[in-house]
Amino acid sequence: MKNLIVIIGSLIVAFGFNFFLVPYGILSSGISGVAILIGLITPFDIGLMNLLLNLPLLVLGYFKLGKLITYNTLICVVSLSFFLYVLPVIPVADNIILSTIFGGIIGGIGIGLILKFSGTSGGLDIIAIIVSRKSNFSVGLLLTGMNGIIVLISGIAFNWNIALYTLLSIYITGKVIDKIYTNHIKLTMQIVTSKGELIREDLLKNIYRGITITEGYGGYSKEKMDVLMTVVTRYEMLQVKKIVRDHDENAFINIFETVEVDGAFAKN
């Protein structure tokens, strides 16, 4: 199922490139953008260049991100290269601004799906995920920052109007990615319950997160309560809620977004 979604995501990305960005010489983010640039100024095929340029970074991903994500990335790189090769380059819109906006949105949707289901589209995605796991920066923000060099290349190779359209497309793509791929978002959960020990044991058994427990009592009932506090990713939130409700239907759960974590926090 995951492999199918990665392939669908690759098709979406290729569609955004060949029908919106490439017809106007607008580059995408990452290695795909470099492949588009080479394809526009040389006779080499964009799909083939995308495959060749990604091979060294696939090796890096294997050692830093593991076999699963590298396997899915390989599927994505091959699929994306294939779709870029077979899909015709035809402009859907005759307006460069609309093509820039929708090309960025469609590309962001495709890459976001790929990232969400344990893959990358290759290239700078691999570097962005590695850096994101060691910092508090989001993947979309990192991709936007690292793609500054592509904007400069675009301006030098073509003109600065195209460079600015490329910058707009990359920015939109990064924002869309962050709406879909939310693994970098951390949440603090406070759980007020009378079944603190049972919930603690279950959480430690099923969630790889630390828990801080304090004692309190209800302001109205004056009943003794346990207050459990833990920091989780957005994907883990539903699992924590289910564990709590399995033990205490009446537990009070307060959830709020965490701006930054300074200390031990597993991101894998």
pLDDT tens-digit profile of 77-110? 889 889 988 999 999 999 999 999 999 999 999 9
CATH of domain 186-258: 3.30.70.120
Would you say 228 and 196 are in contact if contact means Cβ atoms under 8 Å apart? yes
Query: What pLDDT is attached to residue 91?
Result: 93
Would you say 144 and 168 are in contact if contact means Cβ atoms under 8 Å apart? no
Mean pLDDT of 170-188: 81
Query: What pLDDT is attached to residue 245?
Result: 93
Query: What pLDDT is attached to residue 103?
Result: 94
Query: What pLDDT is attached to residue 63?
Result: 80
> For the chain, what percent of residues have pLDDT higher than 70?
91
Q: Give buried/exposed letters for 128-160 (b at 16+ CB in 10 A, else e).
A: bbeebeeeeebbbbbbbebbeebbebbbeebee
pLDDT tens-digit profile of 215-233? 988 888 888 999 999 998 7
Mean pLDDT of 141-162: 77
Query: What pLDDT is attached to residue 220?
Result: 84
User: How much is the mean pLDDT over the chain?
Assistant: 83
Please state, in angstroms and rounded to a whole number, the distance separating the CA atoms of residues 16 and 23. Answer: 11
Query: What pLDDT is attached to residue 46?
Result: 82
Per-residue pLDDT for 32 more than 60? yes
pLDDT-derived band at 263 (thresholds 50, 70, 90) equals low
- All residues at 6 or more sequence positions from 261 whose CB lies less than 8 Å from its CB, including other chains: 136, 186, 231
Ranges of CATH 3.30.70.120 domains, the chain: 186-258
Determine if the pTM surpasses 0.85.
no
Please state, in angstroms and rounded to a whole number, the distance separating the CA atoms of residues 189 and 222. Answer: 22
**What is the number of other CB atoms lying within 10 angstroms of the CB of residue 88?**
7
Residues in the chain, overall count: 268
* C-alpha angle 71-77-79 in degrees, rounded to nearest 5: 100
pLDDT tens-digit profile of 103-133? 999 999 998 888 777 666 677 777 877 787 7
Mean pLDDT of 35-58: 82
pLDDT-derived band at 151 (thresholds 50, 70, 90) equals confident
Per-residue pLDDT for 145 more than 80? no
